[in-house]
């Protein structure tokens, strides 16, 4: 659709447009009818615009005689839904006739002509050049909602909001490839709409700083409380004993917004309380904001997985895996030491491993599930999570549902 771009001959300031409207029109009612005629005569509808952060197609500007309501716009959203909104809430691309006329109308009703100044738009143009909508775009997901997601552009610290019908099935920390449809700005923030063509977990591509590991001395299986002297060792216990004393480490725990002076009041605890109270949406919102603040918040990934594990186990599995893979950045390839549950900072990583193992089991990937469970036992031999009771059923190929039905 051709844009109504302003040419030198028809360029008018906002003040000149208002003066033209006021010429021969007396009172608010007549001036509103004059504005309506101006839009009808000068704008080729439908015209591309957006309302808040959502792209729309504006099919008409109207006035029903209600002075308090003023001008309205008939807008069609991308999902086909048509709505009528105040014209003052509609924005159009910069340097178009539509944008100039809406600015004049906004000033006439006592609002700022442009919600975003020209200076702000120029300031952000450089970041817009990172997006080439003629080809698929890769984005790192940070905060996922039902129809949109806050994302980071790989290789930069710049963020953008993606609007897509498919985004609700994704998880923070995934990288999605998007076939773009539109790219625009609203109140200084960039937006992109399109379809997700593919998704992947590629933790090294996120550019994260690994969580710190702090050595906590040696762990000796001969001295640990879990081993009963008068009972024979199981197969997994014998493997642990053969490894002998090993270094023990504590993993850095990241919880943005937590109060170090009050360990019993933090965002994770609040989210869990909301979940227990049945407010899953608010619980999810808190966890998503934690992931957006720092993708290394492993507990955010784990508890996001917990929220959907019962209804969408495959989606929960991806949340657990992302948290697990981020934690593994700190271990390297040949980590053979101990991460005890008794060290609080290790628990988020161990919880992600546990959730990932359960998810693999639930979807029937028994061999992989057994490998993950054995890894947990090796990392935390005291087995505070009760992994040793699950491994026999997993190795036997017993269905996850059958195991839980017996409990």
Same domain, 105 and 131: no
The verdict on 382 and 278 lying in the same domain is yes
Q: Assess if residue 268 is contained within a domain.
A: yes
Q: For 157-199, write each residue's pLDDT tens digit.
A: 788 999 998 899 999 999 999 998 888 877 677 889 999 999 9
Q: Which pLDDT value is given to residue 115?
A: 66
| Residue 46: cis peptide before it, omega within 30 degrees of 0 | yes
- Whether 20 and 46 map to the same domain: the answer is yes
Based on the fold, state whether residues 398 and 305 are members of the same structural domain: yes
User: Does residue 2 lie within any of the structural domains?
Assistant: no
Specify if 308 maps to a domain: yes
CA 169 to chain centre: 11
218 and 198 in a common domain: no
Q: Which residues pair with 214 in a beta bridge?
A: 250
Q: Are residues 354 and 269 in the same domain?
A: yes
Q: At 101, list the tokens.
A: 């006329």
Give a yes or no: residue 1 inside a domain.
Answer: no
* Final residue belonging to a domain, choices 206, 223, 252: 206
Average pLDDT of the chain is: 86
Higher pLDDT among residues 370 and 240, named by residue: 370
Domain count along the chain: 3
127 belongs to a structural domain:
yes
Question: Which pTM does this prediction carry?
Answer: 0.71
For 208, the token pair is 């994260």
Element (H, E) at 82: strand 82-86
The yes-or-no verdict on residue 124 having pLDDT over 50 is no
Q: Report the 10 Å Cβ neighbour count for 242.
A: 8
Is 3 within the bounds of a domain?
no
Residue 287 CA to residue 304 CA, distance in Å, equals: 7
> What CATH number does residue 169 fall under?
2.40.50.140
Among 42, 35, 49, 45, which Cα is nearest to 7's? 42
Res. 128: pLDDT tops 70: no
Q: Is the pLDDT of residue 1 over 90?
A: no
For residue 77, the model assigns a pLDDT of 80
Query: Are 275 and 158 found together in one domain?
Result: no
**Domain that residue 152 falls in:** 123-206
Report the chain's C-alpha Rg in angstroms.
29
Q: Are residues 184 and 271 in the same domain?
A: no
Which two structure tokens, joined as six digits, stand for 314? Answer: 């495959």
89, 106: one domain: yes
Most confident range, picked from 104-118, 232-246, 265-279:
265-279
> Do the Cβ atoms of 221 and 381 come closer than 8 Å?
yes
CA–CA gap between residue 93 and residue 48 (Å, rounded): 8
The CA distance from 339 to 380, in Å, is 6
Percent of the chain surpassing pLDDT 70: 88
Report pLDDT digits (tens) over 280-325. 999 999 999 999 999 999 999 999 999 999 999 999 999 999 999 9
Split at pLDDT 50, 70, 90, the class of 227 is low
């Amino acid at each position: 659709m051709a844009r109504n771009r302003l040419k030198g001959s028809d360029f008018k300031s906002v003040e000149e447009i208002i003066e033209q409207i006021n010429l021969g029109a007396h009172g608010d009612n007549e001036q509103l009818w004059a504005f309506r005629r101006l839009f009808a005569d000068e704008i080729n509808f439908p015209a591309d615009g957006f309302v808040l952060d959502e792209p729309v197609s504006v099919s008409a500007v109207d006035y029903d005689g209600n002075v308090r309501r003023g001008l309205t716009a008939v807008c069609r959203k991308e999902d086909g839904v048509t709505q009528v909104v105040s014209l003052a809430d509609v924005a159009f691309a910069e340097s178009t006739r539509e944008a100039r006329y809406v600015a004049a109308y906004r000033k006439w009703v006592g609002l700022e002509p442009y919600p975003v100044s020209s200076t702000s738009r120029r300031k952000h143009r450089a970041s817009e050049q990172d997006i080439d909508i003629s080809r698929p775009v890769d984005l790192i997901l940070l905060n996922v909602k039902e129809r949109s997601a806050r994302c980071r552009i790989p290789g930069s610290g710049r963020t953008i909001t993606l609007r897509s019908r498919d985004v609700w099935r994704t998880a923070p920390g995934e990288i999605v490839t998007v076939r773009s449809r539109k790219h625009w700005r609203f109140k200084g923030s960039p937006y992109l709409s399109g379809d997700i063509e593919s998704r992947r977990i590629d933790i090294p591509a996120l550019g994260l700083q690994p969580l710190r590991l702090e050595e906590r001395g040696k762990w000796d299986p001969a001295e640990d409380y879990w081993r009963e002297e008068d009972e024979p060792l199981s197969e997994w216990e014998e493997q642990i004993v053969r490894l002998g004393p090993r270094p023990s480490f504590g993993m850095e725990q990241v919880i943005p917004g937590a109060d170090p002076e009050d360990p019993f009041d933090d965002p994770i605890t609040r989210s869990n309380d909301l979940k227990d109270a049945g407010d899953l949406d608010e619980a999810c919102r808190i966890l998503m904001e934690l992931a957006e603040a720092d993708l290394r918040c492993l507990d955010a990934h784990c508890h996001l997985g917990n929220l959907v594990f019962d209804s969408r186990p495959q989606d929960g599995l991806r949340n657990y895996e992302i948290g697990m893979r981020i934690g593994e950045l700190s271990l390297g390839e040949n980590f053979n030491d101990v991460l005890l549950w008794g060290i609080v900072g290790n628990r988020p990583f161990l919880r992600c491993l546990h959730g990932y193992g359960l998810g693999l089991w639930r979807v029937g990937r028994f061999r992989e599930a057994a490998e993950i469970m054995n890894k947990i036992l090796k990392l935390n031999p005291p087995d505070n999570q009760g992994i040793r009771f699950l491994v026999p059923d997993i190795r036997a190929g017993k269905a996850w549902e059958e195991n839980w039905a017996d409990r």
